[in-house]
Structure 1
Amino acid sequence: MSGRRLLAELLAPGVEASVPLLRHCVGRILAAAGHRYVDDVQLVVSELASNAVTHTRSGRPGGCVIVEVSAIGDTLTRIEVVDEGSCSVPRPREARDSDCDGRGLRLVEAMSVRWGVSQGPVGGTVVWAEVVTAVPEDPQDTGAGDVPSETASVVEM
């Protein structure tokens, strides 16, 4: 696998209005870097940023969310959403048909080659996902190296 290359780091207020802005910016950044298939990664950004604003201290007054966008080789993008922490670890859950929420991490799981959760550098949480954003020249190569594509890996804090 080729190395990881940081494309951008975005800092946004921890408010709901930041979510579509982050989604748009990530799409533009990836398009400028030559990635053609950005819809899945934009959905992942929306879900992870929305979770950070809704479920962590980032959503409190004065809070913020950081989104890092990195290219992994020519075909994968890694998104890292850094929040200010919470009392719980993000986990996918089974939503009932009548639930209005609770499907976000299942969507992230479906759109990603792999994803996970780790402790942030200063007490926050980093939720990351790696998503295919370009077609490889060799159809057998997703750019993921030895990464299994069937399930996500969740690393608990």
Structure 2
Amino acid sequence: MSPDEQQRRFPGVAFGVRLARRWLTDQLDEGGVEPELCSNAVQVLAELAANAAEHTRSGLPGGTFHVRLRVGNTKLRLEVTDQGSDETAPVARRAGPFATSGHGLEIVNALSSQWWTKSHDDGRTVFAEVPHTPDTPPPGFSASVHAGAV
């Protein structure tokens, strides 16, 4: 695995979501990513990881979710793979201003340039791309990844 791609598995519980946030923060801090981009990426990951822990089999006893970070010249790609669900694919919905849940994918929409899902035999992966500038990778990450490669 290159320095431009990092991955790790976490327990499918609230504490696992906190661990994933801390892990991503550490990865981005070590790479010299600017604070605003780091904050946006961590928030996107937190929402996707929380959905995996709350709405899929990853949240059952012994369940896990897998996170992958890919760093490109113009974006960070986050991938959260869960252990599947009988529910349909996640959809952003407009929650009321006083709702205590239902805002997660609205936040992902706001902070990422795009997001999508892919189902597979053992679960589902949700991808989100968080844009960054300038047209070079953040310090600490290699320039070998080209804009279209992520």
TM-score, structure 2 as length reference? 0.82
Q: 1:137 to 1:144 in 2, by over 3 A?
A: closer
Unpaired segments ≥5 residues, structure 2: 137-145
Counterpart for residue 8 of structure 1: 6
Q: Give aligned-pair identity as a percent.
A: 36
Q: 1:128 to 1:137 in 2, by over 3 A?
A: closer
Unpaired segments ≥5 residues, structure 1: 146-157
Higher helix share: 2
| CA offsets 1:90-141 (integer angstroms, 9 cap, x no match) | 1111112332100100100100011111113x33010110002x43058xxx
Cα distance in 1 for partners of 2:100, 2:80 equals 23
Higher RCO (CA-CA < 8 Å; seq separation 6+): 2
Matched length: 135
Q: 1:77 to 1:5 in 2, by over 3 A?
A: farther
Cα distance in 2 for partners of 1:108, 1:13 equals 22
Cα distance in 2 for partners of 1:83, 1:6 equals 22
Q: CA RMSD in A?
A: 2.0
Structure 1 stretches of at least 4 aligned residues deviating more than 3 Å after TM superposition = none
DSSP 3-state at the match of 1:38: helix
Question: How is 1:26-37 mapped onto 2 (pairs within 5 angstroms)?
Answer: 26-36=24-34, 37=37
Q: 1:118 to 1:137 in 2, by over 3 A?
A: closer
Counterpart for residue 154 of structure 1: none
